[in-house]
Amino acid sequence: MAIKVGVSGARVTKAIKVGASGVRVAKVVVGTPVKRITSGAFNVSNLGGVDTTGAVTGSVLVYDEDVGKFVAKLDLTDTNFNGGQY
């Protein structure tokens, strides 16, 4: 049996043949480990296409086609909720 290792959309460069010989994969490394993450940049307002101006407790993000962004709103007019069937 052959196992091909690769990334979706990328060309597979190595094939590992596993059979009765007992070949084992000892280590698989994908990418470079992240050593330090700061929490300062992780906020929904830092996402592109999101406008949180005017957000207050209870606000939800609603897509506004006129501005092409998700905006914070308290009023959910022109919104259709379909709860499905149970």
Predicted local confidence at residue 71, as pLDDT: 93
Predicted local confidence at residue 45, as pLDDT: 84
Predicted local confidence at residue 80, as pLDDT: 79
Q: What is the pTM of this model?
A: 0.47
Handedness of CA 34, 40, 42, 47 (dihedral sign): negative
The total number of structural domains in the chain stands at: 1
Mean per-residue pLDDT over the chain, rounded: 77
For residues 72 and 61, is the Cβ–Cβ distance under 8 A? yes
Distance CA 72, CA 79 (A): 14
- Domain limits for position 61: 41-79
Asked if residue 68 belongs to a domain, the reply is yes
Asked if residue 57 belongs to a domain, the reply is yes
Distance CA 17, CA 84 (A): 48
Distance CA 86, CA 81 (A): 15
Pairing label, strands 14-17, 2-5 = antiparallel
Asked if residue 8 belongs to a domain, the reply is no
Predicted local confidence at residue 75, as pLDDT: 86
> pLDDT tens-digit profile of 11-43?
555 655 666 566 677 777 777 777 777 766 678
Asked if residue 33 belongs to a domain, the reply is no
Using the predicted structure, report yes or no on whether residue 8 has a pLDDT greater than 80.
no
